[in-house]
Structure 1
Amino acid sequence: MPLVTTGELVTRAAAERSAVAAFNIITLEHVEAVVAGAESAQAAVVLQVSENAVKFRYGRLLPLARAAVAAAERAAVPVALHLDHVQSDDLLREAADAGFSSVMYDAARLPYERNLAATRAAAEWAHSQALWIEAELGQVGGKAGEPALDAHAPGARTDPAEARAFVADSGVDALAVAIGTTHAMTTRTATLDHDLLKRLAAALEVPLVLHGSSGVPDGELSAAVAGGIAKVNVGTALNMAMTGAIRQFLAEHPDTVDSRKYLSVGRQAMAEAVTGIIRTLARPPADL
């Protein structure tokens, strides 16, 4: 079916107090696995291409984006395409002509005022191109004079009052909040600050996004959705599924040289992980 927009999926999820799953893709196998997993779960999904993934692909956005668009157009479920964690303004400006309906502009590494200025400029450009834009804000309480942590660092948190002002002044359509997750976690041990999430949901009128969700246990994920998270980003969990399956296959079949044999195993493992995560997000906390 035709591509849908990230904005419509996330806006609908926020209104229904549900969440749409967004998976980071790196290879064609990632693309195919996410679509297959979403079809198995009979749910809409967002395919995300990060700036780091573009760097891995020799700095070229279009080959992976074109593959994602082609897969989405042949999917049996609604699929949107999102450009994730963009720091480069040049890359940002490639989004509109590459099939993306949304971008996540990442200036969270900057001090608040510089983050705000950069994000406001990105939002103005994105909206001029009919792109939905997500941003991120995090800070940490601590001793006076200490620099704020990056939003992805352990201990980082988003302040509700600051977040409300940031959204109003920047004009973004969604906000990724720091409530206890960390990127690239390989163990599911993160504990979320659900009280903070409740206060953020009350303070903000835009949908809330959870990054670093691979490290969050099922029960915590389900509770986060019930608490107001409308978009859940997952990346590392897919890579762990793929790598683990391939590692096991090659250990059992050390003479294999045909890459299709182990890539198909890795792709299937990722598809199963996608289905499981989507079903977790749709499950009420009491069922876990």
Structure 2
Amino acid sequence: MDFPAIDPVIFSIGPVALRWYGLMYLLGFLAAWWLGNHRARKPGSGWTGEQVSDFLFYGFLGVVLGGRLGYVFFYQFGLFLDNPLYLFRIWEGGMSFHGGLLGVLVAFIWYAKANKRAVFDVADFFAPLVPPGLFFGRIGNFINAELWGREAGPDVPWAFRFPTDSLHLLRHPSQLYEALLEGLLLFLILWFFSRQSRPRMAVSGLFAAGYGVFRFIVEYFREPDAHLGLQALGLSRGQWLCVPLIATGVVLLVLAYRRGNAAPALAK
């Protein structure tokens, strides 16, 4: 089917425009803020609404700065070497989840040290709040008709012809696959898992392993970056970046259950 005619700009007033992609980022932040405050209000959470808001501010900076740095160094390093100022040309687009994750990890460590908290107490509390942002972000990619999937066969009735595809092929809407797996499904898994009594680090480990596995799967349906193509073993750059993420998640889960340091169940 043909891609629906969606104007990426919701409305504009003079030079100021509200775009769907920017709105998706805002919705992701608001979802994390609402869910974090919901859990902070529960007895024994160990968090206040003010603390949630403080961390989300730094976490958002980590997403933006880390996401941009990750995209440039993981996917466009050649452009950076040719023109270092490309790093700052954010209006041209380009964000990387793996880079954003590294930025958030820096925020976790900084916030934990500044507030005398265990790093994984911070990470375990906020990990379930990340997938809603991933969900909205992928919806934004779909609306922008970017990061589309590989060619789909005639037996895929939900395949689209994206207007940004010069070949006009029927393609998998891999953005929606990611929204459902890395966003909605991962959120449900983490949310209900964190409601139970479990050892410290377990929620963080499950997030890392869960995201890595879901992203690795979806990459089989997502068109690789044209300038990178498929790499060793026929895997994409995104899949290779998921390998250490999955391994880290598994290690964290094993260590968590071996140590058995119980963490309080979060709000039901």
- For the pair shown, the structure with the greater C-alpha radius of gyration is 2
Tell me the TM-score normalized by structure 1: 0.25
Higher helix share: 2
Higher strand share: 1
